[in-house]
């Protein structure tokens, strides 16, 4: 039997990081570099390079930002669903600035049990990665507070329990600046389906104008304020 120190020395969790912010990548790299049980084996800056990296580099855990709009594969729920289908043995840790209860509950429903807010200390990534590897659950303090509050108080215009998962994702992508055609391509749905889901979301929220939908997405935290599109294009009335 190996001494305990030798066992720990030989225990490595191979991690791939995906984030489109260089500063965050540098911070995570620094934080994980001193952890003997974690080996950062690859870094991707968008979903396209992440999927390509996973095809070549074996890993046990992916730490990924939620919103990476530059990739061809999509981001958020669509990206995580693709990873789950293609690599069912890989565990996910979502690292995000989004603090909307609907988004966080969507992640939980998707099967993501380890979520770390970028507003919390990066030290929370370490227990989150270890929990993900053992199929456990870990929420950083900000995430845990939001989820608890949402569970005990579901009122107002919070889309959790009002909008479906697909409707929330359509609203998020639309507010991020994508057209209906682009959302349909990214989510692999028809333009008619996306238009219907967008219209149903607006009806449920009692919103009539696209500009109010964009404002709602910003105010409810579905997208950061800087990511909200300036306004609907001429072909985006449906």
- Span 35-86, pLDDT tens digits: 999 999 999 999 999 999 999 999 999 999 998 877 788 888 889 989 999 9
Residue 123 DSSP code: G
pLDDT at position 35 is: 94
d(CA 157, CA 96): 22
Among candidate residues 230, 103, 220, 100, the one with its CA nearest the CA of residue 174: 230
Using pLDDT thresholds of 50, 70 and 90, give the confidence band for residue 228: low
Q: If phi over 0 gives left and psi between -120 and 50 gives alpha, with beta otherwise, what is residue 111?
A: left
Residues 20-49, mean pLDDT to the nearest whole number: 95
* Side-chain-facing half-sphere of 106: CA atoms under 13 Å: 26
CB-based contacts of 182: which residues, under 8 Å, 6+ apart?
Answer: 173
The residues near 76 (Cβ < 8 Å, ≥ 6 apart) are: 66, 67, 103, 169, 172, 173
Q: Find the length of the chain.
A: 238
Lowest mean pLDDT, pick from 2-11, 73-82, 132-141, 202-211: 2-11
| Contacting residues for 193 by C-beta, under 8 A, at least 6 apart | 184
In this model, does residue 124 exceed pLDDT 80?
Answer: yes
d(CA 188, CA 92): 22
- pLDDT, mean of residues 147-157: 60
Give percent of the chain with pLDDT exceeding 90.
Answer: 53
Residue 35 to residue 71: CA distance in whole angstroms: 30
Token digits for 130? 């270890």
User: Side-chain half-sphere of 39: how many Cα atoms within 13 Å?
Assistant: 12
10 Å CB burial of residue 188 (0-12, 13-18, 19+) is: exposed
* Higher per-residue confidence, 158 vs 196: 196
Tell me the whole-structure pTM to 2 decimals. Answer: 0.67
Mean pLDDT rounded to a whole number for the chain: 84
pLDDT at 164 over 70: yes
- For residue 157, pLDDT over 50 is answered with no
- Of 27 and 235, more confident: 27
Spatial CB neighbours of 78, under 8 Å, sequence gap ≥ 6: 169, 186, 187
């Amino acid at each position: 039997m190996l001494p305990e120190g030798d066992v720990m020395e030989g225990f490595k969790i191979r991690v791939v990081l995906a984030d489109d912010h260089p500063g965050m990548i540098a911070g995570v790299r620094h934080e994980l570099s001193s952890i003997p049980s974690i080996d950062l084996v690859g870094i991707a800056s968008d979903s396209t390079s992440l999927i390509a990296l996973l095809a070549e580099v074996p890993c046990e855990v992916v730490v990924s930002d939620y919103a990476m709009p530059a990739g061809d594969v999509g981001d958020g729920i669509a990206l995580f669903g693709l990873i789950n289908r293609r690599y069912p043995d890989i565990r996910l840790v979502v690292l995000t600035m989004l603090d909307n209860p609907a988004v966080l509950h969507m992640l939980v429903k998707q099967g993501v049990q380890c979520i770390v807010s970028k507003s919390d200390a990066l030290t929370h990534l370490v227990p989150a990665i270890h929990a993900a590897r053992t199929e456990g659950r870990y929420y950083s303090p900000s995430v845990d507070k939001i989820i608890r509050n949402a569970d005990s108080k579901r009122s107002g215009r919070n889309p959790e329990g009002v909008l479906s998962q697909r409707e929330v994702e359509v609203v998020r992508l639309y507010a991020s600046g994508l057209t209906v055609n682009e959302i349909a391509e990214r989510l692999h749905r028809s333009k008619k389906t996306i238009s219907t889901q967008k219209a149903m979301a607006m009806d449920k929220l009692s919103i009539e104008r696209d500009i109010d939908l964009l404002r709602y997405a910003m105010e409810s935290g579905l997208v950061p304020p800087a990511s909200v599109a300036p306004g609907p294009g001429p072909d985006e009335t449906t």
